[in-house]
Amino acid sequence: MRRVSKLSQVAVAVASLALAASACGKTSDEASKDDGKDKGSAGSSEYKGKGIGLAYDIGGKGDQSFNDAAYAGYSKAREEFKIGGVDMEPGDGESSADKVQRLEQLARQGYDPVVGVGFVYAPAVQAAAKKYPDTTFGIIDDNTVKADNVVDLVFHEEQGSYLAGVAAAKVSKAKHVGFVGGVDIPLIHKFEAGFVQGVKSVDPKIEIEKRYLTEKPEEGGFSSPDKGQNAASGQIEAGADVIYHAAGLSGQGVIQEVGSQKKWAIGVDSDQYKQKALAKYKDHILGSAFKDVGGAVYDLTKSVVQGKPMKGEQRYDLKSGRVGFSDSNPKYTAMKDVVAAVEKAKKDIISGKVKVKIAP
């Protein structure tokens, strides 16, 4: 999705961002809500920032998954702390230099913290943080950037995926399930590893279809619903009756195909049962292996507003509550044996009885 900001009371600040849109993406229409006069009223009186700056990953806002989860945390922080903010979309076919320029624009305009949504921002965060040492930068899903003013917001995705695997194995009548990964990279391998281990913990004989949509992010693995739909169709044809995706916007296609064929889909990152764009298929969304990206964005913003910025690596897990398996679908909660199995698996992971793999 591409949105151009409505210039209002922050016309000067937002306009300067918009002038760079051709090189570094487009600002969201939410940016115009900041008047710059109420910053920090719910936090520290020492907070001098203009608000939070959020730069989206591939797929942008409206992916009903990863980016939308980040936006939820951005919105909550703005509302609770009475601060402004700008959220910016990625440009089509942009370079690493474009990402650097986007983050530097946000820092130069006074936004603090500045958050890069996704590991693709690692080089840009590294460069921008060095140039703006007084600004706190956050990066989601990457822990390679090490600097005093950088916070790595990372998750034990494999733990939530293990729970998804347990649920999938318990509800599969065909004893045949599927996994669709957006891009063939180590981060998504964690989702596969946890899911497969969870499935096998219930029944080692269950057959598992596996498919990665692309080898590189720029090839559309996280932003192509049609690719997800085709992959799901192939897995269902092969016999799978439950499919778990870790594919961002492409996952919409997975869920649409699974729902239209009246099989079970398992969502990711956000609680996809609650996503309006997927309402038509929600009865077939068993649950979602969520990671609370929004909560991480909120936590970081809170720390900055209150004058005690986070530092270093912040890794969230099942015990923290920022990783888990959603239970919004009444059809899922009605399956008492499935719920019990998932809850037992959760307790075993938290206690250390079960160690979840991070690679297939």
Strand partners, 139: 116, 152
* Average pLDDT for 4-15: 35
Instruction: Inform me whether the pLDDT recorded for 128 exceeds 60.
Output: yes
323: left (phi over 0), alpha (psi -120 to 50) or beta: beta
pLDDT digits over 238-281, tens only? 999 999 999 999 999 999 999 999 999 999 998 999 999 999 99
Could you check whether 52-155 and 157-291+329-351 share the same CATH topology?
yes
Q: How far apart are CA 86 and CA 103, in angstroms?
A: 11
Domain ranges of the chain: 52-155, 157-291+329-351
pLDDT at 65: 76
pLDDT digits over 171-209, tens only? 999 999 999 999 999 999 999 999 999 999 999 999 999
CB 153 within 8 A of CB 138: yes
- Average pLDDT of the residues of the chain: 89
Is 50 or 62 the better-scoring residue by pLDDT?
50
Q: Which CATH number fits domain 157-291+329-351: 3.40.50.1370, 3.40.50.2300, 3.30.70.20, 3.40.50.10240?
A: 3.40.50.2300
pTM of the complete model: 0.85
Instruction: Inform me whether the pLDDT recorded for 21 exceeds 70.
Output: no
CATH architecture under which domain 52-155 falls: 3-Layer(aba) Sandwich (3.40)
CB 323 within 8 A of CB 314: no
Residue for token pair 């969870």: 198
Instruction: Inform me whether the pLDDT recorded for 211 exceeds 60.
Output: yes
